[in-house]
Amino acid sequence: MRTVRWIVGTLAVACVAYGGWDQVGYPPVSPRAFATLSGHTSEVYALAFSPDGALLATGEAGAVFRIWDTRTWREIRTLIVPPVDPARGTACPRTSLAWSPDGRLLALGGSDYGGPVYLWNIETGEVRAFPTGGLARTRDVIFSPDGSLLAGSFPLLMGSEPEGTIVWDVSTGDVLQVLPVAYHLEFTVDGDHLLVATLDWSQEPLRFSPRIVLWEVGTWAETLVLEGLWAPFTLSPCGEYLATVPGARGSVVVVELATGVVRAQLGDSSLGHGLSGHEVATLISFSPDGRHLALVGTDGVLRLWEWTTGGVVRTPAAHVRTAGFSPDGLTLATASKGSLTIEIWDAATLQLAGRLPGHEVATDWADLRISPDGAILVTTARSEVVFWDLPAGARRGSVMLPRQVGSVAYHPVRSVVAAGAVRSLRAEITLWDAHTGDVVLALDGHRDGVLSLEFAPAGDLLASGGADGVVRLWDVASGAEHTALPTNGQAVVAVAFSPDGGLLAAASIPWWHGAAYSTPKFLRDWRYPPAVSLWDVKTGEQLRVLEGRSGLLAFSPCGAYLAMAHADGVEVVEVATAAEVAVFGETGEAPLQFTPDGRYLLTRSQEGAVRFRSFPDGEVAREIPTVSADAVVLDPKRGLLYTALSSSYPFYYGSRQPVNLGAVVAWYVGDLLGP
């Protein structure tokens, strides 16, 4: 796969042919993300077809913008906009974008405090930054019909940031005018006016007084004011009509722009479509022929309103955040909340025509395993186990379970993958052939969900930990249960064999009302202390119980040490004596695994960052800046660390809101692993 990389200032642009790894060079010049397997890695907030319909641009949370070829639906370009001021954070995850009329330029607005608007020339890769003077955040960007002007709106977020609307000269980047703040804006079809939704603050006493204003381009004088109408709004293709809502909670209306006369109102029809004007959450746009108006109800369903006749058609697209018609009106693209795929619909039949890739990884339950030869990566996605060809970066296939996947394990010698069902009273463990997808074994014994799996180093045994509080050892050849090791009713959230296979460590936490399902991999403050148990595999004898530790476990390569999570961070003990060797890290940090030479212990912080800590002093040699990496696996042969982004994304004002992220990212760490 041919890859072109441009560096423009602080912007990194990768131009690739989609279909595998989005590679930026191997090994990279400096340790950084090497590749991303999949499409979008967070929710899509903006999408727009190019004027000729040949391309689709999408913008996702985290200021990542992608361009897709609509003939092949392959990703052809990616632009990652770095944060302007990481210390200040992000106002919200929203992004905005707009194509220039000739389709050569793409205007990009992010959500950073005071961030600029970027102008991306998709032919040359050049990226220009248009400063906003510290305005709060970008809400909308739009080109004038002749492409000479670019307007952006920047409303305040908390009441303390500056706000306003800026008009730039596209060729020079000069600011031509700073206008009052607009909450939505569009140029009229002839380009003579800028149409904006704004508020009238002159009212006494102060109250919500929406209005739509036409500013004349050049003089910037108000030439028409439509009182009581509010955002969002959209213009018909001919520019004659305006669809909007009266006030904050009014019925959707179609207004004749020249006169302000209402020509149609949603909810007046007696056709019984079950959607009143008060149930509309978002207006999208008119269809290119002007006959239909796309809108999203408060139920998240996309509907098409044939406003001249009153008919409303409910489309199959649900939980829609944004949508857009292709210029010829034949295709409708939608992006849904909580999903990473872009759905492509036939606008005439409303049949699903395709999806832009975005592999969803289940929140809190993502797992990653790599084959012994490093050729296959296994990921879990809700009830699906997905197999990836790592050298090609292609998806080989997948297997569906009847229930959600809790954990997976890869056989150390054979091409066999084990997966356990979670949140189920019938918690089967299924073993597949990774090359053919054929079922090898089905193991049934746990009375509740399977939370952890691990093959013994020789591959003869499989250890499983369940929410029923039992560790079970299975004979891989026959499928017979070898041994059952009880843990006094505590849910077993992690199991690990020593390198020689002689010992088995298991971490458990008290189970109550499904608590083990919510956060099984982090140490919690339970009524009864969590514990790590150590057994002799051959005899089944419990050698010791270390209370106050739990979460993920890691034996050192020589087998002499065991790393565990406890209340203050990571603790490493001597296996033979249980004597403490080292304690480092911070609250909520958990061990993942030692590097093959034992020099570093990989840990995961409570926020999800992956750290390489030197052993035994615990100093951080490198931190991988992931966002809540729920699953991690090291590939020492290629010097790569694979992480699944799957738990949460930093949303409003530093809070955390669960979101299904969907990428597997490979980070180059070969310089730490040695020869």
Model pLDDT for residues 64-96, shown as the tens digit of each residue: 788 888 887 777 888 877 666 655 555 556 788
CA angle 588, 592, 597 (to 5 degrees): 135
Does 343 score more than 70 pLDDT? yes
Residue 286, domain member (yes or no): no
Interatomic CA distance for residues 152 and 649, integer angstroms: 26
Question: Cα angle vertex 557, ends 553, 560, to 5°?
Answer: 75
Could you give the number of structural domains in the chain? 2
What tens digit of pLDDT does each residue of 487-536 get? 765 788 899 999 999 999 999 887 543 443 333 333 444 444 688 999 99
Least confident stretch, 263-267, 473-477, 498-502: 263-267
Which of 575, 590, 605 lies at the terminal end of a domain, its last residue? 590
pLDDT recorded at residue 203: 67
56 against 379, higher pLDDT = 56
Q: Does residue 62 lie within any of the structural domains?
A: no
Q: Is 161 exposed, middle or buried (0-12, 13-18, 19+ CB in 10 A)?
A: middle
Q: Is residue 106 part of a domain?
A: yes
Which whole number is the average pLDDT over 318-343?
84
DSSP 3-state helix, strand, coil percentages of the chain (rounded to 5)? 0, 50, 50
Burial class, 7, CB count within 10 angstroms (exposed 0-12 / middle 13-18 / buried 19+): exposed
CB 362 within 8 A of CB 340: no
Answer yes or no: is pLDDT of 574 > 50: yes
Task: Measure the CA–CA gap between 405 and 392, rounded to whole angstroms.
Answer: 26
Give the structural domain span for 187: 83-227
pLDDT at 83: 66
pTM of the model: 0.56
| CB-CB contact of 1 with 20 (8 Å) | yes
pLDDT in tens, 34-65: 555 555 556 788 889 999 999 989 887 767 78
Residue 292 lies in a domain: no
The answer to whether the peptide bond before residue 596 is cis (omega within 30 degrees of 0) is no
**462 conformational bin, left if phi > 0, alpha if psi -120 to 50, beta if neither:** beta
**Residue 319 DSSP class:** S
In a domain? residue 164: yes
pLDDT at 108 over 50: yes
DSSP label at residue 588: T
Decide which of 562, 590, 618 is a domain's last residue.
590
Q: Is residue 555 part of a domain?
A: yes
Instruction: Note whether 308 and 264 are within 8 A (CB).
Output: yes
Last residue of a domain, one of 563, 590, 617: 590
Question: Is 527 within the bounds of a domain?
Answer: yes
Q: Which CATH number do you get for residue 581? A: 2.130.10.10
Residues of the chain with pLDDT > 90, as a percent, come to 37
For residue 598, the number of C-alpha atoms closer than 13 Å in the C-beta half-sphere is 12
Q: What is the pLDDT of residue 31?
A: 46
Q: Is residue 94 part of a domain?
A: yes
Q: Rounded to an integer, what distance in angstroms lies between the CA atom of residue 663 and that of residue 399?
A: 19
Which of 186-190, 208-212, 538-542 has the weakest average pLDDT? Answer: 208-212
